[in-house]
Structure 1
Amino acid sequence: QRAERLSAKWVAPTYAFYQPTPTIGHKDGRRYHDFHCMGKSGSCKHAVRRYLDGTNSGSTSNMRKHAKVCWGDAAVEAADAEGSADAARKSLAPASKQGTITAAFERTGKGKVTYKHTQHTKAEMRATIVKWVARSQRPFSIVEDEDFHELMKTGRPGLWIPSASTVARDVRTVFKNARKRVSNLLKAHDGALNFTTDAWTSPNH
């Protein structure tokens, strides 16, 4: 019963990275909760232990610290933007260690183009804008353009749009993950490699 009362207070977005029900145990006469991380597609074995008799019994600082290591800063920031554990879980469900932004980015652009009947989550919005500004060579500041906001928010005045600084940070995050992925592919290749350069790129401005 006490666990149920405590769980009602576990609403911070950080809890979204952990299994909803912690393991309950005792050590040296002290009761604790072990919160198990759900990162790395469920293969992460790390648990954050929190004793119930201390002043930090409700602290999420250690949970947040591990989430950044396992899921990435972008995923933690995306969860914070959702505002609650329940909302964050819906966005983070398909995410992996690469982070929510990268996971959402990888889900787009595959197969036939389809359009959702529901509004993007904040994580999906960030991923879609990353793809757009990168492919179309748009400036990050375009998301703060007044006419862009009018186009996006008409009929949906409450639509959330990330700031230019958030877009810039997300682009760097996706680039770092893509660079690491390409690096691993090249290292794993045991044959010859041929390189060429694109010496002429002329965007249509």
Structure 2
Amino acid sequence: MPWHDEMDILREVGSISAGQGSVALSEILGQKINLKLPTLEFIPSTKIEKQIVLDDKMAISVSCSVLSGIKGHITFILDEKSAYALVNMCYKIRKEDKESGHLTEMGISLIKEVGNVVISSYIGALGMMLKKVIIPSIPTLVHGPIREVISIAASPFADSESILVIEAVFEEDVQKITGSFYLTLNNESVYYIQDACKKILESLK
């Protein structure tokens, strides 16, 4: 399924959601945070593990099912080091917590909240574009090897032709933290989004 000019519409969706997410994250963390979504691409679901550099790093993910509007699953992923850095933006992590390999309850809660903001901002902007109410489920958190986390993210719709992979960058004065999120849709929803993008492009001519 070729995507050409339609990707420009999805990039605009990303810009809108990044602006909304930046405001929400700044309020949560009590400081100025810029959320950017610089890259996005559709990757064939059968090639997801081959096209993404995977290693033995541990990762933390926040995932939601899409309950209405479209059918899919969305997962926000940070490697463990980035997760600690993100939590450290809000409060200093004790040295023993870093060495233990476990986040505190407060840290886990914060990552869930940040993941929920990123996910909600994007699917909210996508819903505006589609003129549909898209509602996510309550987020769940998974901690494990990054290969397994990505496999879980891609599995809900294994027969889907492609997965939308979006890079997410959090910036403050002295730090830049990069994560990613994966929007896995059933084929009907993918075609619906592509058709909606085409109609928007036609209306702009």
Shared fold (TM-score greater than 0.5)? no
Which TM-score tier does this pair reach, normalised by the shorter chain? Answer: under 0.3
For the pair shown, which has the larger CA radius of gyration, 1 or 2?
1
Structure number with higher relative contact order (C-alpha < 8 Å, ≥ 6 residues apart): 2
With structure 1 as the length reference, what TM-score do the two structures score? 0.25
With structure 2 as the length reference, what TM-score do the two structures score? 0.25
- Relative to its length, the structure with more strand (as a share) is 2
